[in-house]
């Protein structure tokens, strides 16, 4: 082993690969198929984590991990001992060891990225421009894990947030002293295992000449636009944006939307999925034309946007931002109910929930709080419900509510209404139960 998790094949150079022999080849469709076998020793939960990690490669790159049939070069994914892999494609079957401690999305992707041909980020040839290695803090005898190599950096900037980066205290002499310090800002976080970073994705697509329009957004908030926005987007394009928040649910809001209109949106369109893949449930089947799209809320921490344009007319496209909420949903059925988390038991502390109720054009939204009991305070500054006459928190405020006084029936002036619930760190009560219905505009 080198650097803790890299198996070294002494039969050939594991660093340079000028003839592409250590890279997996493309097929006739431009995809890079990497065959694999999966040990029967893995539980169904283990298999789900591994397959989810693989699926993210398929969503964001041209790499496809496929079950092996008869291929001679393939990955044997098995729980041998620890987490480790060879670098790049070998000339036969090759082991990727993933034991129970490796069953984290980013740890699985870390080892798979080794198998695709990637070293640790802090092993880059230019790493001294970005980090200092504190050798006095490294366990004696493990200094070789911090060697630099003559790497192909593909013109991509150094990535402190790469899934391939060591953590700050890797091989630390006492488990707490730093061995790697970013510069010039020593407080930058490094060594995450949440999953691939956007620069990880860029490196894979460059190494394998994928030629894809793919973006990963992995922060708790951010923004995205169609290509060239606010100028016209290119024709004959297909782009994906995967929002993978660290936790909670994704709230997506559009500030601009202008996509070529066509019957049933058959020409240019935007699709939005409630999950990380194009097989996830749809939040928006197809959207085109101009005007505002309503906000969207995912059920988990991922949301996928797919934008497709044809060979004809282009428009300016779209601009959107996202943030996270601890709970909530988009409600579009004619009637329904919703409540604070755990109702009728006490709601948890530190909650920020959003419900967006959207009716068809020509209808209004009516909300009736059939039970309401929040922490009471004169100005409702601790726990409260905010109601907005529209789909956004910038819409007109209809009221702020707390305590146990009856809340009047809330009726929108348009076809949407938004409610936000907030709780602080103390005094939790049972919260509220609300019923909503769509009513015909008079």
Hey, what are 164's tokens?
């391939």
Instruction: Give the rounded distance of the alpha carbon of 57 from its chain centre.
Output: 12
Note the helical H segments in 31-179. Answer: 44-60, 105-116
Cα gap 196→109, rounded to integer Å: 7
- Phi, psi (5° rounding) for residue 94? -140, 140
| Beta strand spans in 191-316 (E) | 213-217, 222-225, 238-244, 249-259, 269-273, 282-287, 289-290, 296-297, 302-308
Helix axes 105-116, 44-60, angle to 10 degrees: 60
Backbone angles phi, psi at 198, to 5 degrees: -65, -35
**Could you identify the residue written with the tokens 């909503």?**
436
Rg (CA), the chain: 25
User: 59 is written with which tokens?
Assistant: 């969503």
CA 11/CA 21 separation, integer angstroms: 13
What are the b/e assignments for 290-308, b being 16+ CB within 10 Å? eeebbbbbbbebbbbbbbb
Q: Which residues contact 155 (CB under 8 A, 6 or more apart)?
A: 206
Residue at token pair 């893995």? 42
Q: What is the four-CA torsion angle of 195, 59, 281, 433, rounded to 10 degrees? A: 20
- The single residue listed with the structure tokens 């803090």 is 137
Cα–Cα distance measured from residue 365 to residue 417, given in angstroms and rounded to the nearest whole number: 6
3-state secondary structure of 113: helix
Output phi, psi for 253, to 5 deg. -130, 135
Nearest Cα neighbor of 120 from 271, 2, 297 is 2
CA geometry: angle at 152 spanning 148 and 154, to 5°?
130
List active site positions. 111
Residue found under tokens 């999953």: 195
Cis peptide before 267 (omega within 30 of 0): no
């Amino acid at each position: 082993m080198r650097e803790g998790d890299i198996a070294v094949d002494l039969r050939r150079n594991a660093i340079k690969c000028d003839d592409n022999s250590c890279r997996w080849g493309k097929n006739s469709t431009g995809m890079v198929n990497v065959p694999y076998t999966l040990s029967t020793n893995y539980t169904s939960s283990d298999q789900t984590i591994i397959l989810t990690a693989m699926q993210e490669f398929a969503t964001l790159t041209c790499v496809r991990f496929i079950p092996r049939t008869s291929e001679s070069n393939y990955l044997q994914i098995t729980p041998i001992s620890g987490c480790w892999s060879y670098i790049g494609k070998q000339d036969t079957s090759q082991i990727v060891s993933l034991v129970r401690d490796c069953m984290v999305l980013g740890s699985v992707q870390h080892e798979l990225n080794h198998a695709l041909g990637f070293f640790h980020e802090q092993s880059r040839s230019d790493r001294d421009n970005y980090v200092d290695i504190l050798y006095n803090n490294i366990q004696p005898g493990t200094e070789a894990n911090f060697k630099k190599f003559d790497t192909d950096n593909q013109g991509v900037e150094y990535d402190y947030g790469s899934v391939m980066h060591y953590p700050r205290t890797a091989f630390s002499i006492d488990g707490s002293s730093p061995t790697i310090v970013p510069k010039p800002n020593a407080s930058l976080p490094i060594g995450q295992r949440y999953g691939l970073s956007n620069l990880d994705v860029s490196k894979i697509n460059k190494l394998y000449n994928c030629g894809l329009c793919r973006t990963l957004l992995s922060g708790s908030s951010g923004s995205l636009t169609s290509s060239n926005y606010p100028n016209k987007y290119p024709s004959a394009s297909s782009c994906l944006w995967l929002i993978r928040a660290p936790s909670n649910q994704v709230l997506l809001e559009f500030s601009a939307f202008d996509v070529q209109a066509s019957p049933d949106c058959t020409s240019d369109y935007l699709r939005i999925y409630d999950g990380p893949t194009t097989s996830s449930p749809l939040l928006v089947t197809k959207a085109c034309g101009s005007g505002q799209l309503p906000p969207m809320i995912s059920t988990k921490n991922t949301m996928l946007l797919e934008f497709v344009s044809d060979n004809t007319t282009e428009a300016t496209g779209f601009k959107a931002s996202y943030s996270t909420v601890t709970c909530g949903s988009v409600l579009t059925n004619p009637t329904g109910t919703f409540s604070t988390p755990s109702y009728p038991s006490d709601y948890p502390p530190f909650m920020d929930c959003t419900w967006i109720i959207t009716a068809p054009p020509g209808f209004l939204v009516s909300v009736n709080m059939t039970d309401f009991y929040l922490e009471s305070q004169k100005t409702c500054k601790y726990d409260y419900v905010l109601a907005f006459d529209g789909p956004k928190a910038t819409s007109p405020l209809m009221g702020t509510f707390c305590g146990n006084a009856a809340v009047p029936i809330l009726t929108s002036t348009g076809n949407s209404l938004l409610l936000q619930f907030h709780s602080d760190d103390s005094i939790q009560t049972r919260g509220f139960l609300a019923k909503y219905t769509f009513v015909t505009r008079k």
